[in-house]
Amino acid sequence: MGNLLLRTWKHNVQKYKLQENIYVRYFLCALLVVVLFFILLSGTSTVYYDLKVNDRSPEDIIANRTSVDVVATENAKKDAREAVDDIYRLDHTILEKVRIDIDQLFFDVKRLAGEDISQTVKINSLQERSEVNLPEEVYYKLLLTEIEILEQIRTHVRNITIHVMENGITQNELKNARALADDLIIGLDASKDERFIIREIVQNSITANMFFDERATIEKRLKQEELVSDLMIPKNTLIVRKGDIITDDIYSRLNSLNLLEERLKYVDWAGIFILSMLTLLGLIMYLKAYKPEILQDNYILALLILIWIMTLVVIKCIHFTVGVIDYSSVGYLVPVAMSTMLITILISSRVAVFSTVMFSIFVSFVFQPDQAALFDYRFGVVSLVSGFTGVFSVSKMTHRSAIMRAGVIIAVTNVIAISSLHLLTVDFVPPVLSLNLLFGVINGLLSSVLTIGILPFLESTFGILSSVRLLELSNPNHPLLRKLLVEAPGTYHHSVIVGNLAEAAAEAVDGDPLLARVGAYYHDIGKTKRPYMFIENQINKENPHDKIAPSLSTLIITSHPKDGLELAEAHNLPKKICEIIYQHHGTSMLNFFYNKAKESEKSEANAADFRYQCKKPQSKEAAIVMVADAVEAAVRAMSKPTPVRIESMIRKIMKEKLEDGQFDECDLTFKDLDKMVYSFLHVLNGIFHARIEYPTEDKELPTKLESQKESFVHGL
């Protein structure tokens, strides 16, 4: 069933020329944008309500995400501000001035009391000079008081004034301060007139010396406000019940959750669409810069986009479990490494690195704790680490078991990454840490298991030739290689040597050595249809071509690439191997049969009838196998192969192929051809090196051995 689907897929691609169709390319890009748009959009708020204050709620409205509770936060900040008392600053200069004014008053009284002038003049003088505003009666009594009593009064006034003012008095506290002074005066050991004088001076001296500092008060209130953390509305919190009135507070909460106004829906859509388009643009620009051939091959592009879509779907499916599994941990389960390993094995490690970065961004976006945060870096970091680990673990793999080993490595790196994140956030709650580490291990192992399961399906469906697939095809136990060995042993051994030659040459010209070697193993499988018609399989047999017309021989010989292609397709060999099988002779001339036809036929033979009717090599590897095939056959036919003669033969064959136009459709350069000569020469010199003849004392030994051999053969 799988083979039938694959053949149908390939038939449709060839029939409608889908592999290079630009409209198919547009469709694939549009498909990626659409899927990415809906996957990312599904993580955002999409339910909106047309409500106003005093409307009734049409249904129970639940918080669609965690968000700041603006109302509660503002109330908390207001309480914090109001909890700060007004700040007052004590002006020490005022008390100092009051002391000076009191001392100056008593100094002036003492001075004027001894002068020979009228009391009226003295009182007027005191009123003009004194900073303490007193009634005339007080001045009069002061002038009549004895010096010793004046000094006692001055001391009492100073002490009471200082005691009342030294800690500061605000304007609002003046009444209480003066009342306190009266209490202190009543307790003095003094006469009634003395207490009267003291009271008048103290009451008129006491003044406000502590003032409101508006700037300091505002700064402190702002600081207290900043200490208030945002109060959150947790996701799935009931905001308002069905039928309840929408109050100002409820309206503010709905607005902070972006659940009001229909226009916000289109803002969300626009943002997600722009993000999706930027992602596509980034992918195209990256491929154009580093892997332009992918943009020309819809097979590979479709595979890449399929893996991207598959990854997005897996991310979203795991996100749906958020309500079941702890939200803080489930993002660690996303097997990003699965996708990056598939891309590395099937397409390119460079493309896998870019994909890792993008997948990490998607995971961070989808598993955001709330829209205010936009991303959750924890899941992005772990996805990035596991993705890169997957890429580097399988970039040079030689067998499928390496994928399982990669899974173990990914699990270990996940554990290290998650532990480091907990160290950074100082989060050591054992149950949470243990669950996160478990998810990291599951992620790594799940990635490898899924990769092993999905890889063969993608290889066969898209005809991708991965290094793992090539190594499997190089196994001598493959049915086609077993068939070649049993039915055409000469061709089989010829193909092995051609494979060695092709591998060395491909490595020299920066081709794909593994593809060239495996392609060479299969290039002549078409000869199994009529193995006896090819010289390498004619051991001690007559050559059937001696008895048939050259045109018929040509038809038989030139049919083996087409026969090989049919066999390869029947056994689902990858497209690149099939191309090498079909192209390894190109449109080369069979000169031997052409010359034989010209000699035997009276009419002139048509040269076009003696050419292979196949495609010229389209790749370096196909051209390399073509030359290696011809070189191996020619050198094997040489009687005494020496390095000089071998090099001369290689250059002659290459010159003939070049002049015949067989390299016109592949990207081999003259420099490449020169490198190929030396790589072929190195391998062939190792095969056809000179051997030292072993000496023997028995001169008749060779004759004895020959007779024993003949007896053994006849005995069979």
| DSSP-assigned letters across all residues of 74-95 | HHHHHHHHHTSPPPEEE-HHHH
Alpha-carbon distance of 2 to 697, in angstroms, equals 67
Report yes or no: 410 and 360 within 8 Å, Cβ to Cβ. Answer: no
Same domain, 310 and 452: yes
Same domain, 445 and 581: no
Same domain, 612 and 540: yes
Same domain, 453 and 323: yes
Separation in Å, CA 600 to CA 535, 558, 589, 594: 21, 20, 18, 10
User: Phi-psi bin for 236: left (phi > 0), alpha (psi -120 to 50), beta?
Assistant: left
Report how far Cα 429 is from the mean position of its chain's Cα atoms. 28
Same domain, 574 and 651: yes
Q: Read off the tokens for 439.
A: 């998810």
**251 domain residue, yes or no:** no
HSE of 607, CA atoms in CB hemisphere, 13 A: 5
- Dihedrals phi, psi of 375, to nearest 5 degrees: -130, 155
CA dihedral 469, 472, 474, 476 (to 10 degrees): -160
Of the candidates 146, 161, 149, the residue with the CA atom closest to the CA atom of residue 201: 161
Of the candidates 189, 134, 47, 3, the residue with the CA atom closest to the CA atom of residue 571: 3
**420 domain residue, yes or no:** yes
Same domain, 450 and 598: no
**161 domain residue, yes or no:** yes
Q: Which domain holds residue 602?
A: 502-687
Average pLDDT by stretches of 10, the chain with 716 residues: 51 56 88 88 61 82 75 86 88 90 87 82 83 84 85 90 90 90 87 88 89 89 86 80 85 76 64 90 93 88 94 88 63 92 92 95 78 70 94 84 92 92 70 84 94 89 81 90 90 92 93 93 90 75 76 85 92 90 90 80 71 91 94 87 90 92 91 93 80 50 43 32
Of the candidates 597, 617, 619, 622, the residue with the CA atom closest to the CA atom of residue 660: 617
HEC string of 131-190 equals CCCCCHHHHHHHHHCCHHHHHHHHHHHHHHHHHHHCCCCCHHHHHHHHHHHHHHHHCCCC
Alpha-carbon distance of 39 to 366, in angstroms, equals 8
Give me the sign of the Cα torsion angle 12, 16, 19, 23: negative
User: Phi-psi bin for 453: left (phi > 0), alpha (psi -120 to 50), beta?
Assistant: alpha
Alpha-carbon distance of 550 to 590, in angstroms, equals 10
Report yes or no: 110 and 154 within 8 Å, Cβ to Cβ. Answer: no
What's residue 544's pLDDT? 79
Q: Which residues on adjacent β-strands are paired with residue 89? A: 211
- Dihedrals phi, psi of 222, to nearest 5 degrees: -65, -40
Same domain, 26 and 152: no
Same domain, 510 and 444: no
Q: What is the CATH number of the domain that holds 582?
A: 1.10.3210
Q: What is the DSSP string of 623-688?
A: HHHHHHHHHHHHHHH-SS--HHHHHHHHHHHHHHHHHTTTTTTS---HHHHHHHHHHHHHHHHHHS
Choosing from 412, 445, 464, the residue where a domain stops is 464
pTM, rounded to two decimals: 0.61
Q: Read off the tokens for 651.
A: 């250059």
Report yes or no: 297 and 575 within 8 Å, Cβ to Cβ. Answer: no
Same domain, 531 and 649: yes
Same domain, 400 and 535: no
**80 domain residue, yes or no:** no
Report yes or no: 43 and 368 within 8 Å, Cβ to Cβ. Answer: yes
Choosing from 464, 484, 510, the residue where a domain stops is 464
Report yes or no: 112 and 190 within 8 Å, Cβ to Cβ. Answer: no
**450 domain residue, yes or no:** yes
Q: How many domains does the chain have?
A: 3
Alpha-carbon distance of 111 to 117, in angstroms, equals 12
Choosing from 206, 240, 265, the residue where a domain stops is 206
What's residue 582's pLDDT? 93
**245 domain residue, yes or no:** no
**256 domain residue, yes or no:** no
- Dihedrals phi, psi of 88, to nearest 5 degrees: -120, 145
**53 domain residue, yes or no:** no
Report yes or no: 499 and 540 within 8 Å, Cβ to Cβ. Answer: no
Same domain, 359 and 426: yes
Q: For the chain, how big is the Rg over CA atoms in Å?
A: 50
Same domain, 305 and 408: yes
